[in-house]
């Protein structure tokens, strides 16, 4: 199953929509990935840091290529991020509930990007 493969084999992740608000899923996902010892980069153009970690404006600013990009944003924002993933050669995206749209998924697939539609918080909770 692709979900398991991504969680087991790929440890460099980015979270688009990483939030400084502990009540938001972008915060919870970022923190959960870190707790499980993933190397995680937060993407949020509205904030500079998340609990001392640098937040980035875009995927292109990251110091290294990531394996998986987790989307915790409106699909309209996600469309541009899919284009950036394609440009950077990122092959896997993980869409949180609410981050998906037919247009976004079709674009990703047309660019050769594999798409997971599931809650990473739920997937990781089975590993605790």
Q: What CATH number should be reported for the domain holding residue 80?
A: 3.40.50.720
Write the pLDDT tens digit of every residue in 102-118: 999 999 999 999 999 99
Give percent above pLDDT 70 in the chain.
100
Q: Which domain holds residue 76?
A: 2-125
Q: Domain count of the chain? A: 1
| pLDDT above 90: residue 2 | no
pTM: 0.96
Q: What is the mean pLDDT of residues 94-98?
A: 96
Q: How far apart are CA 104 and CA 71, in angstroms?
A: 11
Mean pLDDT value across the chain: 95
């Amino acid at each position: 199953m692709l979900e398991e493969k991504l969680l087991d084999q790929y440890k460099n992740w980015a979270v688009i929509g990483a939030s400084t608000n502990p009540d938001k899923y972008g915060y919870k996902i970022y923190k959960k990935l870190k707790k499980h010892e993933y190397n995680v980069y937060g993407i949020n153009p509205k904030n500079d840091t998340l609990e001392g970690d640098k937040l980035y404006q875009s995927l292109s600013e990251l110091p290294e290529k990531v394996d998986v990009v987790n989307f915790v944003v409106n699909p309209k924002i996600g469309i541009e991020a899919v284009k950036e993933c394609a440009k950077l050669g990122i092959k896997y995206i993980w869409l949180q509930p609410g981050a998906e749209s037919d247009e976004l998924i079709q674009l990703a697939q047309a660019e050769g990007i594999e798409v997971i539609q599931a809650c990473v918080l739920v997937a990781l909770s089975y590993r605790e």
